[in-house]
Chains A and B, each alone.
Chain A
Amino acid sequence: MARKITAGRVGSPLGFTAPPSLHSVFARGEQWVWFSGAALAGAIILIAGLLLIIVANGAGTFWPKSLVLVERADQSKVLGIVTEHGVLREETPGNHVREVPQTQFKVANRDLFGSDFVWHRDETLAQASQPNDAIAMERLENGDFFGFLKSIKNGETVVATGDEAWRVLEDQLPAITSLRGQISTLQHDDVGRINSAIRSAELDIKREKANAGARSADVIAALELQIVDAKQRYEVLTAQVGILQSQANVWAAVMETADGRTKEIALSSIVDVWRPNQMGIRAKLKHYFRHAWSFLTEEPRESNQEGGIFPALFGTVMMTLIMTFACTPLGVITALYLREYAKQGLVVRIVRIAVNNLAGVPSIVFGVFGLGFFVYFIGGNVDRLFYAESLPTPTYGTGGILWASLTLALLTVPVVIVSAEEAIAAVPRGMREGSLALGASKFQTITRIVLPGALPGILTGVILAMARGAGEVAPLMITGVVKLAPELPIDGQFPFFHLDRKFMHLGFHIYDVGFQSPNVEASKPMVFATTVLLILIVVGLNLAAIRLRNHIRRKYQMGAFN
């Protein structure tokens, strides 16, 4: 050490002497400073790279990309979007490895080509163009369609061809889309209502039979009549739906693919259609936002790989809210107890350390506890006491949004406790004593002085807890999240809140679509978009918490009692 210090003296930091020699730079350990700086640079690159990759992939999902028509050397044609460039390693005779550049196209038309994506070697691609009349189409089934519009048919008659066809298509599509909306309302809401009426009537019958009261025969007969009536209504509805469907199915577009195959596509199965090569920047922006909006507000299709993510977004928000309602009061009361009521001593210190460390216990452990305790123990008993008539089908004895939320509440309650405690402790002693000196009771002091003062700090904790809860997936996987929930936890049917239902979640959606879906490559853009959304939610909540915290700091720095 002594030697080094001597060296340090030579290159005095004040710089009075001549600039230090290169030798002394290393002797002073400057290179290590640079190394540590490089570590920070590395960390920044890692983090920025992560965000960049996600945003770059996710934000571009809805942008209408140009369709390229490529003529290959063998005269065959490919119409698609260029998605990736790569290198193919090929063994040539003589054990040499040749690297062949290749390009991946998204050619869509899964129903005709078998796969959405295709790789072509660059050497086989001759000529590329962007034809103006190339059409991209989002369909209800089988993914996108890329091709050219030949004609529009109404029934068996050809109504329009060429440019005229495009106009007709644009004219007809909105009407047919709204028809489809009507159909889905009928199928979803009305049929759903009838089904639930039948189900509840059947359960009532079961209960009556078990009770075997004096008037149960009459009641059962009445209920059975209700069921018959509901079934009749169901028939009527189905007929109605049939009529609407046949109306919608009359129109069809005759499409031609790049390789000359024709395909008739019913207009009722088209979600959206656009000509990317003709769109100006404004049209593209409009398209972008329209598709982003429908991504947020629509139901998923094609086993979650297409369509929207509304149920997952809804499930995430609702679960986070229930969790917050559960963990906030618990956390604040515990913090108040620990800070204001409990005798400060060894026990409270141990409790504090335990609570603090609970935040570091893996979330999956909470999930296991939630499954064993909430789902099987409490849920099982609730079922036996209140839902005995529908057993052995469990109501609360299986995973659901309530149990998942409570599990996460337990997971996040330490976050709230810790920050609420800090916030309560930060309320200046003088304010407290002033209040007590003026004759206020302890509880009055707490509700009027301590809590208002600590509120921003508590809110920070709550927001941080929400952010943690919203991004947590592992415990949900065993307490009630599903890949596809047929019904939302809130709907128009009594009792409106169905806390026993399973739900969808953005995080689990990412895992499921990205790793469990049959066509990972085709669903990647959707997963990236979902990821961007989840990050926006979590990071947004965190930034809110940080701003709130800075705000408080400033407030207390200016406070009169400090």
Chain B
Amino acid sequence: MSRLAKPFHASSPASRRLKLIDRLADAAIRLGGVSVIFAIALIFVFIVREIVPLSAKSTIGEGQVHRIETDEAALLLAGSDEFESTEFIVKRNGAIELHSLANWSESSVLRSQLLGGRRVSAASLASRGIMFLGTDDGRIAIVELQFNATFADDARRTITPLLKELALVTLPSSTGPIARVVGRTNDSGLAFVAQTSDRRLFAVNITQQGLDLAEDEKGQLSAPEEDALDGPFQVRSLAAPSSEVVALAIDSQADRLFVATKDGVLHHWQLGDTTAKPFAEYENPGLLAASLGLREPSERDSSRQITALNVLLGDQSLIVGYDDGSIEDWLGVRQGKNDILRRVRPVRLFDSMPEAVVALRSSGRDKTFLAAAADGSVHLAYVTSGKTLASYLVAGHPLELAYGAKLTSAMVITQEGNLDYRAVSNPHPDISMGMLFGKVWYEGYDQPEYIWQSSSGSDAFEPKFSLVPLIVGTLKGAFFGLLFAIPIALLAALYTSQFLSSTLRATIKPLVEVMAALPSVVIGFLAGLWLAPALDDKLPSLLFFGVVVPVVILTVAGLWHYAPRVLKKVFPAGREVFVLVPVVALCGWAAVIAGPFVERLVFAGDFKQWVYDAFSVRVEQRNSIVVGIAMSLAVIPMIFTLSDDAFSNVPKSFSSASLALGASRWQTAFRVIVPTASPGVFSAIMIGFGRAVGETMIVLMATGNTPILSFSPFNGMRTLSANIAVEMPEAPLGETHYRILFLAAFLLFVLTFVVNTIADVVRQRLRSKFQAV
């Protein structure tokens, strides 16, 4: 074409301009078209880009080993400030040595006046930098290491360490060294448990008032010989353990104390209750995991000794390390229904370490912990999933561990006097396939469960990211929606395309099409605020309606045979629907009237009670039936239109041939039209399913939105889409929760895209098949 045009205009400037414009437009449209298609593809790419980091492995950087200058090798404790810029070490001689992590040689030393030259034999670090230092002569010095950050004009941070002396506690009639101390800052003040080398255990509470008293006495607090169970300074001596103590652990409220002894007993004290005996004693803890089926029983089990204990943030999990390197997670589990206090038992095993576990340190912000074994290997593990996230090996024999406040660094001090510092990157520890799709034993539960509970205000909360209740909820919503929609929409479409008179068809079809555009927020609103309360006491009516309608229709069809000729003339074949609208409406009205009678006759007067007695499920007002009806309102127009298209696109010759052979109109419709159009019907249902799966507002408004796994039609549900709508505004950018919501969106995207593509391909094929006929 253009070749023809060329010779005439090739030289004229107008034509050259025209050609230029043409070429420019050509480029612009191509560019525009390709970039829009690219933008659409970008949706997929971007969503995937947000999900991918979830699978990122935790990484641990190269070790920086620092030699601690000390005349004696033993170091007691290490830690860092909240910015992870300064590190501190507590030495046996009582010196607290601070180093800048950026520049190791920048260091300073702080000394507690309270210690007054005493040597430190045990130390424990609590929150807010509070340290409990046990001395050689049976005292405990409590100091607070503060890091005061000041910001210069150019936003550079200067950190000034400051040691605040709180108290020096003298235990009753004790001169021997303190062997172990574990301390906490709890709601009432400070609390610690100390074990002396002569195997005595003391639980001490000091309230704020007690600290004020100590301040007046230059920090000195002396315990009376007798137990003091109340007042600002409480001291209680616990019954001496049966043999030598090997590990101590205490929860953050200093309420539960765990003591492991050399004779293989784990003692569980409830310090809140002042009985002289432990709340529980677990004999042979190393055997329990095997007897509960968590691991294969082996000969080693009976000789397994506890070497380290740690209570995880949140006070629910007790991490237990053994001398053969195995690590277990113990949870409080209710044995009987009425137990108030939970006894602990192992529920999970972690990857075994090569040698005895010597130190456990839990994170202050989430459910991860560090474990060090005697051979120098260190594991970073996540408790809820039971997964070891990363591991490395340090030179020497580890003594203590420290986990940075921001969870970006790990420190190991060794008996040889080295400090091994490593950067830790652990962006999404709380996610794995098992956590997303499997049953997980969460803290506070008595068995593994599928739970979605994404956020709470505190760091101690264990996030529960099981997508299973949401996926089940999504499918349940779609199922009930389709349960109502498919029969109505398909039969109505069959009637409209095959039997309805063409004039009526021309008005009814567009009407239904317009309904497809009805905003789902409108349907959801009506379902939640009108239908749910209206249906609340009318479920028997609904059941009755379902039974009575077929009977009535059958009767009407039979009676119509005997109807007077006049009536048949007014409503000829193809206009039966005029008769049926009042009939169905009347049935509905009758069902409403008859509902209470049915309830009295069949369901003993109270349907909800009957359901509860029979299936032990409660009938909620906003239940799946309400959602199903509401969802069907959104889906019916869609399935109706598409299947009507499929039915009416069957070539006319098919039905003509069938009718000519003497088949009745129903036989033709059911045996010729329906089988031929069945791929189209299938694709209509698929597209309806796609819509039902992604529906958000209806589910949001018509259900209680509780993410509980339940298949009962009398409960509500929470779907993936409603979950996104509810939680996305609160999910912090880049965090696990945010990315999991993206994952939910991705699942929806893929599911609907695949379903729609299948439907589309099927429909295209059908169309070309019909065209060929």
Contact = CB atoms under 8 A, between A and B. Distances in A.
A361 B752 contact: yes
Contacts of A11: 664
Interface string B489-511: 11110111001100000001011
Interface in A368-417: 368-369, 371-373, 376-377, 410, 413-414, 417
B22 interface: yes
Contacts of A507: 519, 521-522, 697
Contact of B664 (A13, A377, A527): A13
Given A4-B667, A441-B18, A30 B745 contact: no
Given A25-B561, A360-B687, A360-B752, A40 B518 contact: no
A514 B529 contact: yes
Nearest to A442: B22
Q: How large is the interface on A (under 10, 10 to 19, 20 to 34, 35 or more residues)?
A: 35 or more
Q: How large is the interface on B (under 10, 10 to 19, 20 to 34, 35 or more residues)?
A: 35 or more
Given A32-B670, A365-B749, A437-B1, A47 B511 contact: yes
Given A8-B662, A25-B561, A36-B499, A534 B522 contact: yes
B636 interface: yes
A54 B526 contact: yes
B517 A364 contact: no
B636 A30 contact: no
Nearest to A477: B725
Interface string A36-58: 11111111111100100110010
Contacts of B36: 330-331, 333-334, 337, 413, 417
Interface stretch (A119-127, A262-270, A349-357): A349-357
Interface string A7-42: 011011100000010100110111111111111111
Nearest to B497: A36
A443 B19 CA distance: 9
Contacts of B725: 364, 367, 474, 477-478
B585 A35 contact: no
Given A364-B694, A368-B745, A471-B520, A439 B495 contact: no
11 contacts: A29-B670, A39-B490, A41-B577, A43-B488, A336-B29, A357-B753, A364-B745, A367-B725, A373-B42, A443-B22, A542-B514
A341 interface: yes
B488 to A, nearest CB: 5
A510 interface: yes
Interface string A161-173: 0000000000000
A539 interface: yes
A12 B633 contact: no
B549 interface: yes
Interface stretch (B131-139, B245-253, B376-384, B551-559): B551-559
A221 interface: no
Contacts of B500: 40
Interface centre among A340, A355, A510 (most CB of B within 10 A): A510
Contacts of B524: 511
A437 to B, nearest CB: 7
A441 B4 CA distance: 12
A473 interface: yes
Given A37-B580, A337-B33, A353 B760 contact: yes
Given A40-B491, A410-B39, 15 more contacts: A33-B495, A36-B492, A37-B499, A40-B492, A42-B492, A330-B32, A357-B757, A361-B694, A364-B694, A365-B43, A368-B745, A515-B701, A534-B519, A538-B519, A546-B510
B488 A478 contact: no
Contacts of A373: 42, 46
A30 B553 CA distance: 11
A360 B492 contact: no
Nearest to B585: A45
A337 B29 contact: yes
A16 B529 CA distance: 56
A442 B514 contact: no
Contacts of A158: none
B724 interface: yes
Interface centre among A22, A340, A478 (most CB of B within 10 A): A478
A387 B568 CA distance: 76
Contacts of A369: 43, 46-47, 745
Interface in B635-692: 636-637, 640, 659, 661-667, 669-671, 687, 690-691
Nearest to B575: A37
B83 to A, nearest CB: 19
Contact of B529 (A37, A46, A342, A524): A524
Contacts of A538: 517-519
Interface of B: 1-2, 4-5, 8-9, 18-19, 21-22, 25-26, 28-30, 32-34, 36-37, 39-43, 46-47, 50, 487-492, 494-496, 499-500, 508, 510-515, 517-526, 528-530, 549-550, 553-554, 556-558, 560-562, 576-577, 580-581, 583-585, 588, 605, 632-633, 636-637, 640, 659, 661-667, 669-671, 687, 690-691, 693-697, 700-701, 721, 724-725, 728-729, 733, 741-742, 745, 748-749, 752-753, 755-757, 760-761
Contact of B518 (A33, A356, A363, A539): A539
A366 B753 CA distance: 13
Given A47-B511, A510-B521, A38 B549 contact: yes
A42 B520 contact: no
B211 to A, nearest CB: 38
A363 B696 contact: yes
Nearest to B758: A357
A12 B662 contact: yes
A97 interface: yes
Q: Is the interface of A mostly helix, strand, loop or mixed?
A: helix
A33 B725 CA distance: 43
Interface string A83-97: 000000000000001
A44 B508 contact: yes
Contacts of A82: none
Contact of B584 (A42, A334, A361, A514): A42
A507 B725 CA distance: 14
Contacts of B5: 439
Nearest to A48: B581
A546 B510 CA distance: 8
A306 B741 CA distance: 35
A520 interface: yes
Given A37-B577, A38-B584, A514-B525, A410 B519 contact: no
B760 A471 contact: no
A543 interface: yes
Given A364-B724, A477-B729, A514-B525, A39 B492 contact: yes
B760 A37 contact: no
B439 to A, nearest CB: 27
A511 B47 contact: no
Given A29-B664, A368-B742, A546-B513, A43 B19 contact: no
Contact of A474 (B525, B530, B696): B696
A471 B519 contact: yes
A214 interface: no
A436 B1 contact: yes
B701 A338 contact: no
A138 B491 CA distance: 50
A478 B731 CA distance: 11
Contacts of A13: 659, 664-665
A444 B748 CA distance: 43
Contacts of A137: none
Contacts of A372: 46-47, 50, 742
Contact of B666 (A30, A417, A464, A535): A30
B580 A34 contact: yes
B519 A362 contact: no
A358 interface: yes
A341 B29 contact: yes
Contacts of B549: 38
Contacts of B521: 471, 473, 507-508, 510-511, 534
Q: 7 closest Cβ contacts across the A-B interface?
A: A362-B694, A337-B33, A471-B519, A29-B666, A39-B491, A28-B664, A474-B696
